[in-house]
């Protein structure tokens, strides 16, 4: 497939796109499950639960008969406290991502970060794992922003001063692709995150891409008509 235009701004999802946080989610959730005498889950199960925010992750993880608001809110508070204390652990940057971000930054491409991780934790993770990268605007989940609501994309577009038709969102789950569609911008789905390629194809993103190096080629090529390894 050909990439058809040059983008001036890129909005990245965090978990599953830039940062592999499956380990910390699995560790914390299984600690909470054991503490509350609920069944634990495999890492592959948590992979499917992730994508629509922490509250949804918790809801999906606990037995159906215990899914009431009080239980969920209590677990959510415990989860947030544990994550605050160990957000630097059990997580790693995907291979090739730092090189990609550094080259995009050097090329003066505007960078946004839009996550369904809570807002303060999104900032902390960005600062810790990507200390050399200047994201021009960072938005995590809050009462104002939660994907797939397009408000985060619209606010980043305004902040970056990049029109929607020159902005693209890069993510790894259905909520990212739906967010892009809701905001009226293009999307790239990556296959190294929390969803497989077969699931992503059904969402009809503008592009599907398999490695960060392919992503770098897509954004940094000077020839907009060059054929790229995009699905």
User: How do residues 102-129 score in pLDDT, each as one tens digit?
Assistant: 999 999 999 999 999 999 999 999 999 9
User: At 201, is the pLDDT very low, low, confident or very high (cuts 50, 70, 90)?
Assistant: very high
Mean pLDDT of the chain: 92
Contact by Cβ (8 Å): 148, 178: yes
Distance, in Å, from the CA atom of 169 to the CA atom of 227, rounded to the nearest integer, reads 20
Euclidean distance between CA atoms 174 and 201, whole angstroms: 10
Bond preceding residue 148 cis, omega within 30 of 0: yes
Enumerate the domain spans of the chain: 9-19+94-220, 22-86
**C-alpha distances in angstroms, 171 versus 61, 99, 210, 211, 224?**
23, 18, 12, 13, 22
- The alpha carbon of residue 147 and the mean position of all alpha carbons in its chain are separated, in whole angstroms, by 10
pLDDT of residue 224: 41
CA-nearest of 62, 72, 68, 58 to 40 is: 62
Q: What are φ and ψ of residue 103, in 5° steps?
A: -70, -40
Higher pLDDT, 55 or 1: 55
Residue corresponding to tokens 């891409």: 209
Spatial separation of the C-alpha atoms in residues 187 and 169, rounded to whole Å: 5
**Residue range 22-86, CATH number:** 1.10.150
Q: What is the DSSP letter of 15?
A: B
Domain 9-19+94-220 has CATH 3.40.50.1000: yes
3-state DSSP assignment of residue 47: helix
Grouping H, G, I as helix, E, B as strand and the rest as coil, residue 51 is: coil
Distance (Å, whole) CA 188 – CA 168: 7
pLDDT band at 217 (very low <50, low <70, confident <90, very high): confident
Helix H or strand E encompassing 173: none
Q: Model's pTM, two decimal places? A: 0.90
Q: Which residue has the tokens 């960078």?
A: 111
At residue 218, the pLDDT reads 81
pLDDT at 84 over 90: yes
Write down the pLDDT at residue 5: 75
Q: How far apart are CA 84 and CA 62, in angstroms?
A: 21
pLDDT confidence of residue 2: 53
What would the two tokens of residue 91 be?
């997580």
């Amino acid at each position: 497939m050909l990439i058809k235009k040059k983008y001036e701004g890129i909005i990245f999802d965090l978990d599953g796109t830039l940062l592999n946080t499956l380990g910390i989610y699995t560790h914390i959730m299984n600690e909470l499950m054991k503490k509350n005498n609920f069944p634990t889950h495999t890492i592959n199960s948590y992979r499917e639960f992730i994508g629509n925010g922490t509250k949804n992750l918790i809801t999906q993880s606990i037995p159906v008969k215990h899914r009431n608001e009080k239980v969920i809110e209590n677990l959510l508070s415990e989860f947030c406290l544990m994550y605050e204390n160990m957000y630097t652990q059990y997580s790693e940057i995907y291979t090739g991502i730092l090189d990609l971000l550094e080259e995009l930054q050097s090329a003066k491409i505007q960078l946004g970060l839009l996550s369904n991780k809570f807002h303060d934790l999104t900032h902390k993770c960005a600062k810790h794992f990507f200390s050399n990268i200047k994201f021009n605007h960072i938005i995590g989940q809050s009462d104002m922003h939660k994907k797939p609501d397009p408000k985060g994309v619209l606010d980043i577009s305004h902040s970056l001063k990049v029109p929607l038709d020159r902005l693209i969102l890069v993510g790894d789950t259905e909520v990212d692709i739906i967010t892009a569609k809701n905001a009226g911008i293009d999307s790239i789905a990556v296959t190294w995150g929390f969803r497989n390629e077969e699931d992503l194809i059904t969402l009809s993103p503008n592009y599907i891409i398999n490695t960060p190096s392919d992503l770098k080629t897509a954004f940094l090529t000077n020839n907009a008509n060059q054929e790229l390894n995009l699905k």
